[in-house]
Chains A and B, each alone.
Chain A
Amino acid sequence: EVQLVESGGGLIQPGGSLRLSCAASGFTVSSNYMSWVRQAPGKGLEWVSVIYSGGNTYYADSVKGRFTISRDNSKNTLYLQMNSLRAEDTAVYYCARDRYSGIPYFDYWGQGTLVTVSS
Chain B
Amino acid sequence: DIQMTQSPSSLSASVGDRVTIACRASQSISSYLNWYQQKPGKAPKLLIYAASSLQSGVPSRFSGSGFGTSFTLTVSGLQPEDFATYYCQQSYSTLYSFGQGTKLEIK
**Contact A45 B44, beta carbon cutoff 8 Å:** yes
A105 to B50 Cα, complex, angstroms: 8
- Residues of chain A within 8 A of B31, CB atoms compared: 103
Note all chain B residues with C-beta closer than 8 A to A47: 89, 95-98
Question: Total number of A-B contacts with CB less than 8 angstroms?
Answer: 62
**Given A45-B44, A45-B87, also A105-B98 (CB < 8 A):** no
Q: Contacts A103-B32, A104-B91 given: A44-B100 contact, CB under 8 Å?
A: yes
Contact with A along B68-107 (1 / 0, CB 8 A): 0000000000000000000101010011111111000000
Query: What is the size category of the interface that chain A forms with chain B?
Result: 20 to 34
A35 contacts the other chain (CB 8 A): yes
Residue interface bits A40-66, CB-to-B below 8 A is 1, else 0: 000011110010000000111100000
Q: In the complex the two chains form, what is the Cα distance from A47 to B34 in whole Å?
A: 13
In angstroms, Cα B80 to Cα A69, docked, is: 38
Write out the residue numbers on chain A whose beta carbons fall within 8 Å of the beta carbon of B95: 47, 58-61
A115 to B97, CA, bound (A): 21
Is the pair B49, A103 in contact by a Cβ cutoff of 8 Å?
Answer: yes
Smallest beta-carbon distance A4→chain B, Å: 9
Distance in angstroms between the alpha carbons of A60 and B2 in the assembled complex: 11
Closest to A104 in B: B91
Chain B hits for A106, CB < 8 A: 34, 36, 44, 46, 89
Chain A proximity of B88: nearest CB distance (Å): 10
Measured CB to CB, the closest approach of chain B to A8, in angstroms, equals 17
New contact pairs (7) apart from A44-B101, A47-B96, A94-B44, CB-CB < 8 Å: A45-B98, A50-B96, A58-B95, A105-B34, A105-B91, A106-B44, A109-B45
Task: Please list the residues of chain B having a beta carbon within 8 angstroms of any beta carbon in chain A.
Answer: 1, 31-32, 34, 36, 38, 43-46, 49-50, 55, 87, 89, 91, 94-101
Nearest first, the 6 closest Cβ-Cβ pairs linking A and B are: A105-B49, A109-B43, A104-B91, A47-B96, A105-B34, A103-B50
